[in-house]
A and B are shown apart, each in its own frame.
Chain A
C-alpha cells in the first residue's frame, strides 16, 4: 500500500506539473515523470512487459519526439495575448474536481469478480511470453492492422512536413478554376 501511495502521489504531482507549468518544456518533462510512475504502477499490477514498453515507447520515444518539436519550434513560451475565454479556467477546474470525484466514487462500486491472488496468478506476471502468445493468436488481426497504421502514419508525417520544392507552383484544381474566374466565362 505504501508503494502504491508513493507512486500515485508521484503520478498526480507529475500530472499537475504538466498542466500548471507555463513553459511547455517543463510540462513535457513533468509528463515523463508521470509516465515513469505509471510504468512502476504497471509492475505492481503484474504487467512487467507493459511496464518496460511504457518506459521505452512512451517515456522514451514519444516524449523525445515531443521535446524535439518543442525545441525545434522554439515554442516553450506561451504567446502573450488576451484570453478570449477568461471564464473557462475556473469552470474547467470546478468541472474537473466534480469529474474526479464522480470517477473515484464509481471506482469503488466495482465488485471484484474473483479473489485477487488467484486472478493475479493467472497473469503469469505479464511477461513477454504470455502477452505475446495472446497477441499472436487472439489479437492477430489488430496486430496486422496496427502495422498498416504505422506505415500510414510514417508516410503521412513525411507528407505533412515536406516542403514544396522551390519554383514549383501549386496547381489549381478544376473546381477552383471554375469558381475563381466567372468574368472570363461571361466574356
Chain B
C-alpha cells in the first residue's frame, strides 16, 4: 500500500498546477477548468485522509462536494454564456466592468 503522504504531495502538485493555470490563462473557460482542477486536488486530499484515519465521513463529504461542483459549474457556465451574449468575448481583460 502506498503511504498517505505521496497522495497528499500529488494533490499539492495538482493544486499548484491549477493555481498557476488560473493566473496564466486569460480565457474565462480555461480559468474555470483550472478551478475544477484545484477542487479535484482537494477531493484527493480528503479521500487520502479518509483512508489514513479509516473514517468514511471524509468520503461522504467528497460526495457532497461533487454535487456542489456540479451546481457551481451550471451557474458558472450560465454566467459565461450570459456575458458572451453581451460582449462576444471570453477574455477576462475585456470584462472589466461590473455593470451589465
Contacts and interface: CB of A to CB of B under 8 A. Distances in A.
A50 B33 contact: no
Nearest to A122: B54
Contacts of A161: 78, 81-82
* Interface secondary structure of A, over-half rule: helix
Contact of B77 (A44, A54, A65): A65
A175 to B, nearest CB: 14
A103 B51 contact: no
**Most chain B C-beta atoms within 10 Å of own C-beta, residue among A8, A35, A44, A122:** A8
Contacts of B75: 153, 156-157, 160
B68 A149 contact: yes
B14 to A, nearest CB: 5
B66 A19 contact: no
A172 interface: no
Interface of A: 1, 4, 8, 11-12, 15-16, 18-19, 24, 27-28, 31, 34-35, 38, 41-42, 44-47, 49-50, 53-54, 57-58, 61-62, 65-66, 69-70, 72-73, 75, 78-79, 81, 83-84, 88-89, 91-93, 95-97, 99-100, 102-104, 106-108, 110, 112-114, 116-124, 126, 130-131, 134-135, 138-139, 142-143, 146, 149-150, 152-154, 156-158, 160-161
Given A57-B66, A75-B27, A149-B68, 6 more contacts: A4-B6, A69-B81, A73-B81, A112-B3, A119-B52, A160-B78
18 contacts: A4-B2, A18-B30, A24-B29, A28-B33, A31-B33, A50-B59, A61-B70, A65-B74, A66-B77, A72-B81, A92-B24, A103-B9, A116-B51, A130-B56, A134-B56, A146-B68, A153-B74, A157-B75
